[in-house]
Amino acid sequence: MADTQVGVLSCSGEEFLGGTIVRLATRKVMEELRTDKVVTLCLPLYIAGGDEEREFAKTYPVIAVDGCSKSCARIATLKYSGEVRDTIVLSDLFGEDVVLSNIVSARDLKPEHYEMVDKVAVEICKKMDAILAE
Ligand code: SF4
């Protein structure tokens, strides 16, 4: 399984704190915690994309990481590519009222928000490791 990669598809909600947190957490996993093990796509490109993008979840086991219970990344993956191996929804971790609070960009984040990023990144890594260990 050494060469196996896991697809991590995060939602792209820019209007809510949850969307910002999932994007930063996915990036942290990709760039720091599990380099070379993550394949990811920009969700809007995925939704707008052609066959190559739509092959994403057919090629890689996918973890959908969503900023709130609307679960845009999970729904898009199910609709366009098929199976979702696991999911993370930030409202389950922090509460819907927190993830839908109105902080928009990474510029406005406070230390407690970066702690949330770290927690989500760890959750992604746990799920990735479980898939990679199969
Ligand atoms: S899951 Fe929630 S935060 Fe993410 S894009 Fe959808 S509505 Fe926005």
pLDDT (tens digit per residue) in 73-114? 999 999 988 889 999 999 999 999 999 887 767 788 899 999
At residue 1, does pLDDT exceed 50? Answer: no
Q: Where do we find the tokens 């590519």?
A: 81
| Ligand 1 cavity residues, CB under 6 Å | 11-13, 16, 18-19, 66-68, 70-72
Going from the Cα of 12 to the center of ligand 1, the distance in angstroms, rounded, reads: 7
pLDDT at residue number 82: 84
What is the signed CA dihedral for 17, 32, 71, 81, rounded to 10 degrees? 150
Going from the Cα of 107 to the center of ligand 1, the distance in angstroms, rounded, reads: 19
At residue 15, does pLDDT exceed 90? Answer: no
pTM over 0.75: yes
Q: What is the CA radius of gyration of the chain?
A: 14
Nearest protein CA to atom 7 of ligand 1, as residue: 70
**CATH 2.60.40 is the classification of domain 6-128:** no
The ranges assigned to domains in the chain are: 6-128
Distance of CA 98 to the CA centre of its chain: 18
Instruction: Give the separation between CA 68 and CA 109, rounded to whole angstroms.
Output: 18
At residue 3, does pLDDT exceed 70? Answer: no
Helix axes 111-132, 17-28, angle to 10 degrees: 50
End-to-end distance of the chain based on CA atoms, in angstroms? 8
Nearest protein CA to atom 5 of ligand 1, as residue: 13
Specify whether the CB–CB gap between 66 and 43 falls below 8 A.
Answer: no
Nearest protein CA to atom 6 of ligand 1, as residue: 72
3-class DSSP assignment, residue 66: strand
